[in-house]
C-alpha cells in the first residue's frame, strides 16, 4: 500500500529509499548549501522543494501512455 504523499520520507519522484547502492544504475543527491551567502539565502531549501514537486508526478503519462517506472 502506498502512503499518503505528506506522510512518507521525501524522495525524488517517490521512488523507494535504498541503502545498498550496488545495484543502482543512477542516483540523485540533493545537497543543500548556502553557507557562502550573506544575502539572498534560501538555496538550502532547493533540494527539498525539488523532491516535493517531483512527488506530484504521476506513475503514467496520460498523453503518451508511458509508464517510466515499469521495467
Which residue, among 50, 47, 42, 52, has the nearest Cα to 30 in the 3D structure?
A: 47
Q: 62-67 — which CB contacts under 8 Å span 24+ positions? A: none
pLDDT confidence of residue 42: 81
pLDDT confidence of residue 56: 82
pLDDT confidence of residue 2: 65
The pTM score is 0.56
pLDDT confidence of residue 25: 84
- Cell digits for 49? 522543494
In tens digits, the chain (71 residues) has pLDDT values of: 566 666 677 788 888 888 898 988 888 888 777 787 777 778 888 888 888 888 887 878 889 988 877 76
Which residue, among 46, 42, 62, 65, has the nearest Cα to 54 in the 3D structure?
A: 46
Instruction: Give yes or no for a contact between 51 and 17, defined as CB atoms under 8 angstroms apart.
Output: no
Q: Which stretches of 1-71 are DSSP H helices?
A: 46-54
Amino acid at each position: 500500500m502506498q502512503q499518503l504523499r505528506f506522510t512518507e520520507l521525501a524522495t525524488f519522484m517517490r521512488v523507494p529509499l535504498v541503502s545498498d547502492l550496488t545495484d543502482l544504475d543512477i542516483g540523485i543527491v540533493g545537497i543543500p548549501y548556502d553557507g557562502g551567502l550573506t544575502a539572498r539565502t534560501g538555496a538550502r531549501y532547493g533540494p527539498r522543494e525539488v523532491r516535493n514537486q517531483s512527488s506530484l508526478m504521476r506513475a503514467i503519462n496520460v498523453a503518451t501512455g508511458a509508464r517510466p517506472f515499469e521495467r
